[in-house]
Amino acid sequence: MILNLFLCVICALCLAMAEDMRRKLKQVRGQKEIIELAAKKRANKIIDEANMKALKLVEEAKFDAENKRKSLEARLEAIGNSQLGEYKQNLQSVSKSIEEEFKVKALQQVEAEILAYKEEKMKHVQLEVEKIVKEASRIVLGKSLSNEDHLKLIIEALEEARTNHVI
C-alpha cells in the first residue's frame, strides 16, 4: 500500500508537473506567438522604413539626375552657342576675305577693260584726227598728202610751235 500510495503521489506529482509543463508550454507558445508577432511587426516596420528610405533615395537620385541633365543641357547649349559664334565669326572673316578678293579682282578686271577701251578710243581718235588733218591739208594746200608727208608736216609744226614758245 505504501508503494501504491507512493506511486500515486509520484503519479500526482508527475501529473502536476506535466500540467505545469503543459501550462508553461502553452505560456511559452503564447509568448512565442507574441514574440513572432512583435518580430513580424518589427520586420514589417523595418521593411517599411527601408522602402521609405529607398523611395527617398530614388526621389533624390531623380532630382539629382534632373539637375545634372539641366546642367548638362545648359553647358551643351553654351558650348553650342560658343561654337556657333566662332563659326559665324569665321564665316564672316572668310566672307570678308572672299569679298575683298572679289573686289580686287573685279577692280583689276574693270581697270583692264577701261585701259583696253581707252586704247581703242585713242586709236579711233588718232584715225579721226589723221582723217581731219588730211582733209584740212587737202583743203588748205589744195592737194592730199601721204601719211609720211602729213607726219613730217605735223612734226615741223610742233617744233616751230616749241621754238616760238606756243606750247
In the chain, where the domains are located: 18-163
Q: Which range, 48-62, 98-112, 145-159, has the best average confidence (pLDDT)?
A: 48-62
pLDDT band with cut points at 50, 70 and 90 for residue 129 = confident
pLDDT band with cut points at 50, 70 and 90 for residue 145 = low
Whether 150 and 137 have beta carbons less than 8 Å apart is answered as yes
Q: What is the pLDDT of residue 165?
A: 74
Higher pLDDT, 85 or 56: 56
Whether 137 and 144 have beta carbons less than 8 Å apart is answered as yes
Whether 145 and 154 have beta carbons less than 8 Å apart is answered as no
pLDDT band with cut points at 50, 70 and 90 for residue 116 = very high
In the predicted model, what is the mean pLDDT of residues 27-49? 91
In the predicted model, what is the mean pLDDT of residues 121-129? 83
Q: What is the pLDDT of residue 112?
A: 92
- To which residue does cell 551643351 refer? 76
Q: What is the pTM of this model?
A: 0.39
Q: What is the pLDDT of residue 42?
A: 94
Q: Angle 16-22-27 (CA atoms, 0-180°, nearest 5)?
A: 125
Q: What is the pLDDT of residue 72?
A: 93
pLDDT band with cut points at 50, 70 and 90 for residue 30 = confident
Cell numbers given for 23: 501550462
Q: Angle 3-9-10 (CA atoms, 0-180°, nearest 5)?
A: 85
In the predicted model, what is the mean pLDDT of residues 39-63? 94
Q: What is the pLDDT of residue 144?
A: 66
